[in-house]
Structure 1
Amino acid sequence: MNDDPQYRAMLTYDIEDYSQRNNTDQYALQSAMIRLLDLAAGAAGLGLLDWKRQQQGDGEFVVLPPAIHPARLLGPFTDALRQAIDAHNASPQPRLRLRLAIHAGPIHVDGPAGSPGRHAVESGRLVNADALRAALRAVKDANLGVIISDTFYTDYVGQGYGGPPADQFRRIKAKVKQQEYVAYVHLPGHNVHAVPELGEFDADGGEKAVHGEQPPQGRQVSVDGDWYGGNSYNVSGGGNNFAGRDIITKPGQKPSP
């Protein structure tokens, strides 16, 4: 056994509302989950033979081989996975909705009972974050919710290695089992910044602009043509002050006091 830690990309995924399904549906969802993940991995060129997989009933923890660049878990892979799930849900089968956590860091790949290490634990914690669950509850049409760690965002999304642009991720706090992490939520095909239910989870006390910066006084955050601001910080300008609520206006439209 090699007990030296190795830097690896990893993902954890879990079926949303799995426990609410009957036995037959759970069996069908497990089968669909494995098939669609394998399909998406193949479409993204991630391979499958060297995956170290730890099945968990309604989900799976996967350690990727060292040859796979961590950034490849975003972009083509998440796009292919969302398309595969959408196609599955268009057929008369039990609806599958998936939560996916993506992380990277040094772990003990071949432990006595899995892959120990705090980064493996973090991946498992993030997939169960209340913020990710809240996003899927709020956006009923979303079939895939993605959460990435703060370090993964900084090292890969923020460095322009491809995949969704930085402004498609929302910085949140994830508190699970007495541990708190900063992470980023992404809803492929949906505007995560337009989900007011995530306000209580925002890592900086309110929505921030791209790259986690505080919006300057008197301005709001523009995302896809919509303007957001004032949900838990003060925005002042033009003689008006806004605080304690969401303000959503269109470009060129002044927010009402």
Structure 2
Amino acid sequence: MSVSRGGAVHRLVVSADIKGSGRLGQRAKIRARQGMYEVFEAAFAAVGVGGSQVHLEDRGDGVLAALAPEVPPAALVGLWLEEVHQGVREHNEGLSEPLRLRIAMHGGPVAEDGRGLVGRAVDLACRLCDSEPAKAILAADDDVHVVFVASDVLYHSVVAEGGRFVEPEHYRPIPVRAKETDEVAWFHVPRRAAPPWPAAAPPPEQPAPTAVPGGRPGQAPGAKYWINVNGHNQIVDGAEVHGDIVGVRVTRERDGGAEGAERGE
């Protein structure tokens, strides 16, 4: 792909990463990388993209690609993604350590400085690919081998329009917050009505406040006194309180009742 150095041209950017590659042994890592490249190359060929139309950069456990301006984004979010899904399925047959991919796309101005691709579109695509929601979706279901992330702009301008192999109704919007990124992205798992999402743990139950004899309404169980503070730091019952103690009410159990005494300073 020809990109003039220093000049930015609008491109569709694809960022992909292999899940858990750092935990793979050497042979498994090589097999996963080889499988990823074979799947991507076959998918690009299926949509008629090749040669100078695609720029590929190796990222160790992933790849970064930028497409020529004439490549229609609808082909990538449609047939290309379907071919990737089917290619990964075929590659994983009989493997105890299946290839599992996170793939993200975003379009925008991209420049080439002689060492690689540069631009906000590149940064965002990489951050969406590496986002916590993308990782959580893969972690939520071992049967998911491909999770796809579209930027908000790409979803509304391309995915939402639908088309062959494009399923906008099966995407889920999820906020992504990392580094300088704070926006909604759209997550999709091919052939799923919705991406799996770990159920949120319910908040821990808090004990209901109960009345303490001689205490203030709503005082927590086990409370022995109430205090008003105003001024310099004090240490009360082992806890630091910021302010002078103006009043203390001490409650003691006596003959089944309560006896209260107030002290002031």
TM-score, length of structure 1 as denominator length: 0.72
Structure 1 unaligned runs (5+)?
Answer: 201-257
Contact 2:12 2:107 in 1 (8 A): yes
Using the alignment, how far apart are the partners of 1:48 and 1:14 within structure 2?
22
Residue of structure 2 in register with 1:122 after alignment: 124
Partner residue of 1:209? none
Report the Cα offset of residue 2 of structure 1: 3.6
Larger radius of gyration: 2
Paired residue type of 2:19: E
CA distance in 1, matches of 2:167, 2:98: 28
* Corresponding position of 2:167: 165
Q: 18, 38, 43: which one pairs with 1:40?
A: 43
Shift of 1:4: 2.2
User: Which amino acid letter does the alignment assign opposite residue 25 of structure 2?
Assistant: N
Question: Does the 8 Å CA contact 2:78/2:163 hold for their aligned counterparts?
Answer: no
In 2, Cα distance between the equivalents of 1:87 and 1:97?
12
Paired residues in the alignment total 198
Q: Which runs of 5+ in 2 are unaligned?
A: 202-265
Local SS of the residue matching 2:173: strand
1:14 lines up with 2:55 in the alignment: no
Q: What CA distance in whole angstroms lies between the structure 2 residues aligned with 1:49 and 1:15?
A: 25
* Offset of residue 93 of structure 1: 6.4
AA partner of residue 167 (structure 1): E
TM-score (norm 2): 0.70
Aligned CA distance change for structure 1 residues 191 and 119 (closer, same or farther; 3 Å)? same
More strand by share: 2
> Equivalent residue for 2:177?
175
Residue in 2 aligned with 1:226?
Answer: none
Counterpart position of 2:250: none
Measured on the aligned residues, the alpha-carbon RMSD in Å equals 1.9
Query: Cα gap change, 1:107/1:175 in structure 2, threshold over 3 Å: closer, same or farther?
Result: same
The residue type paired with residue 81 of structure 1 is V
1:197 match = 198
1:61 to 2:59 alignment: no
Change (3 A) 1:50 1:196: closer
> Are the equivalent residues in 2 in contact too, given 1:7–1:105 (CA < 8 A)?
yes
Mapped to 2, the partners of 1:33 and 1:67 lie a distance apart of 25
Which residue in the other structure is 2:224 paired with? Answer: none
Query: Once the two structures are aligned, what percentage of the paired residues are identical?
Result: 25
- SS state of the match for residue 75, structure 1? helix
